[in-house]
Amino acid sequence: MSAAIEVMRHHRSIRKFTEQALSADQIEAIMASAQAASSSSFLQASAVIRVTDPELRTQVMALCGNQPYIGGAAEFWVFCADFHRHLQWVPEARTGFAEQLLIGAIDTALMGQNALTAAESLGLGGVFIGAVRNQPFELCALLELPKGVIPLFGLCLGYPAQDPEPKPRLPASLMFCENGYPARFDEGQMQAYDEQVQQYYRTRTGGNKDMSWTGQIGETLAKEARPFMLEFLHRQGFCLR
């Protein structure tokens, strides 16, 4: 098995970091790896804000639920979908289409995954932060994001100060389908996976969390998350048509 596959298969989210900074060479290598990701129609519809100012990092952390690893990581980057740059150089370009949101989100997610995989290959760790979308209006003002730019997720990077076990993923047979989508997934496999996840949480939390994967689905999807998101997208010039 290749070294690249080993790195990807042993991914863990790291939320505790040492105080050691990343070198300039490491940062440059991670950035170059992120930029090497595939891009739809070569639009390169992404921008990344590297938050290095301590006070600004504290303010961003406050908008993201005060998750302490945002402040504790050596690096914190905010990945954004970006069509503002296109309009700067090609003012007649037509933007605001729903498909462009998908392009920007997909391009940026591919960049983010490349960045994290590159970091992990260097012995670093990281965790993605979806909470940058908790207060997007305020975050846009704080990071001076113009119309045509939306923050999608953050990424903490640094030297790990913990060694968690990998979180169990769905069996491949419940995710990879051949020649079409099945009428019904196997209930027995689902039950076995539920039990595996439940045991994982019990072990990781010392018995403080006892939840199956389907239980987590029910809790997470019980209500609409971030109901302000469509208004925010419209304000930033996305999904207008």
Please check whether residues 161 and 176 belong to one and the same domain.
Answer: no
87 close to 146: Cβ distance less than 8 angstroms: no
Please check whether residues 142 and 189 belong to one and the same domain.
Answer: no
Please check whether residues 139 and 196 belong to one and the same domain.
Answer: no
Structural domain span for residue 123: 3-165+224-235
pLDDT tens digits in sequence order for the chain, 241 residues long? 899 999 999 999 999 999 999 999 999 999 999 999 999 999 999 999 999 999 999 999 999 999 999 999 999 999 999 999 999 999 999 999 999 999 999 999 999 999 999 999 999 999 999 999 999 999 999 999 999 999 999 999 999 999 999 999 999 999 999 999 999 999 999 999 999 999 999 998 888 999 999 999 999 999 999 999 999 999 999 999 9
Task: Return the H-helix or E-strand segment holding 6.
Answer: helix 3-9
Domain count, the chain: 2
Please check whether residues 27 and 56 belong to one and the same domain.
Answer: yes
Please check whether residues 110 and 150 belong to one and the same domain.
Answer: yes
Please check whether residues 137 and 203 belong to one and the same domain.
Answer: no
Distance separating alpha carbons of residues 9 and 24, to the nearest angstrom: 27
Does 191 reside within a domain? yes
User: Residue 25 contacts by C-beta under 8 Å, 6 or more apart in sequence?
Assistant: none
Please check whether residues 148 and 202 belong to one and the same domain.
Answer: no
Please check whether residues 68 and 135 belong to one and the same domain.
Answer: yes
Does 240 reside within a domain? no
Which of 17, 41, 31, 226 has its CA nearest to residue 127? 17
Phi/psi of residue 123, nearest 5 degrees: 85, 10
The CATH number of whichever domain residue 150 belongs to comes to: 3.40.109.10
Please check whether residues 104 and 24 belong to one and the same domain.
Answer: yes
